[in-house]
Structure 1
């Protein structure tokens, strides 16, 4: 297939793997410890990769491993001349025709901030531009999606949302409980993203979004990162690329064709969708999409919807107001 569209991915866990063992290589073509590497991003036509800071549950919930992850991002990822750090909308504009791959830094789970908004501001100054308040469990700010009590945002969590809105920090709902999701929808004044979640109607998993949640994200001009986590794609059998298309189609039927992007969760998963184990295999997804949708729509799904969101929602400059 000769056509290769640009690709964007709003979630991977390379930094977690580097935090566990920094001898792993992001740039070496011969090494295979990582799903997401520079050679595989180039092979997949990447124009944007979001690198999540995720601190494994066995590690301390403090700023220390978060800062170590940022250090790894700067030393192991950004040192490649092919990577451009994305912090402002101007940075996104400069990707056009440059041949560079944008690198966006996000935080998955704000446990380590311990409710201190000063820590959030410091992370903004250090270049973090997206944050999910929880992982799957409860913390100081909200309940995660697998917390039994299924509570919403705490008072501190509400302050956190307001400060993210003020700073221009993108808010990610992928791991929130349903109650916390709706609390955040009620109080945010900026469009939200679900960086790596699918449609619960297609695959009934609590990490996936209900139709009402999908409609809410669409209504606020947010984004939904269709993910490649096999158990979020289909239950009971091996997931295939065509199964991902069921989620894409369902979101489209709800009016979300301009709101779909992808959030692979590469390096955060132990098994893969058949034929989609790393960014170098994204051509298989592109080809399947082009059999069903026109090139303009597929270009949106693959990258442009994500880039448009960043152009609209990232701050104009890095300085805190």
Structure 2
């Protein structure tokens, strides 16, 4: 069963490796090409993530460096990796090919310059999260004690996403920011978030937020990061399935997807340590759900609701 994974941080690792890591098979990458093939990942989304501590005047350059690694190392050296730049491109992938789509995790890199965001669209970014955990010029993140929502600039970004049929990602936003995105965005999504009702973490979504996302037509992709799955103890795949169960109980059986966060995490769910193990999750889901429902979680729900196609 093919899988669309909406979030990984391989570009950050490639940048940190300064050319020493081969995307094809570097063991340091949980989402290297070999592991993606083994796990039947049909589309992998690659986040551009810039650490908050990087000087402001270097952040856009750092983002461009990650994009360069995407073009040169991920795509350039691997003909079976196919760039997804348009929503219709998902329908053109052939057997043996893996789609690769750029996303932006936090808009720190653009400062207050929407021209830079438009440039990122042109380079292939199709999903934009306003923040990581910190606050920036667009909004407060989940880790900002102030808990503010979107600034006027942040609302401009959402408007621009709407015009360009780009997803607006609520993962990492403050609670207030999440509510404002749900109100303003035509294409809201949570690329890697779980249920706060099962795991009390500010990165997870409340039941009220989940219901509002589903009512707006948005998708929620569960994340494999253990602290977002279970508050303590060893975390197994069944613990992650419980989050899917919970989202289904809130009416989201056709609006759930997967967003591993591989290469951005250093602890793992048992038997789900890298992309090659993805079918351990699929096999567990098949014990609890109909095959058509599991296909939905794995890839079809996203395909049915992508901008310009399913909405």
Asked if residue 71 in structure 1 is aligned to residue 68 in structure 2, the reply is: yes
Asked if residue 300 in structure 1 is aligned to residue 293 in structure 2, the reply is: no
Q: Distance in 2 between matches of 1:58 and 1:185?
A: 29
Asked if residue 16 in structure 1 is aligned to residue 26 in structure 2, the reply is: no
1:136 alignment counterpart: 133
TM-score, length-scaled by structure 2: 0.96
Deviation at 1:314, TM superposition (A): 9.3
Deviation at 1:99, TM superposition (A): 2.8
Map 1:87-166 onto structure 2 (within 5 A): 87-95=85-93, 97-166=94-163
Contact 2:247-2:253 at 8 Å conserved across structures: yes
1:290 alignment counterpart: 286
Asked if residue 255 in structure 1 is aligned to residue 247 in structure 2, the reply is: no
Equivalent position to 1:34, from 29, 33, 48 = 29
Asked if residue 202 in structure 1 is aligned to residue 215 in structure 2, the reply is: no
Deviation larger for 176-185 or 97-106: 97-106
1:180 alignment counterpart: 177
Unmatched tracts of structure 1, length 5 or more: 316-321
SS at match of 1:146: coil
Q: Distance in 1 between matches of 2:218 and 2:3?
A: 19
SS at match of 1:47: strand
> How many positions carry a matched residue from both structures?
307
Q: Distance in 2 between matches of 1:308 and 1:278?
A: 26
Deviation at 1:183, TM superposition (A): 1.3
1:76-122 Cα offsets, whole Å, 9 max, x none, are: 11121111111112211102x44311101001010111121111111
SS at match of 2:67: helix
Contact 2:88-2:309 at 8 Å conserved across structures: no
1:271 alignment counterpart: 267
Deviation larger for 108-117 or 306-315: 306-315
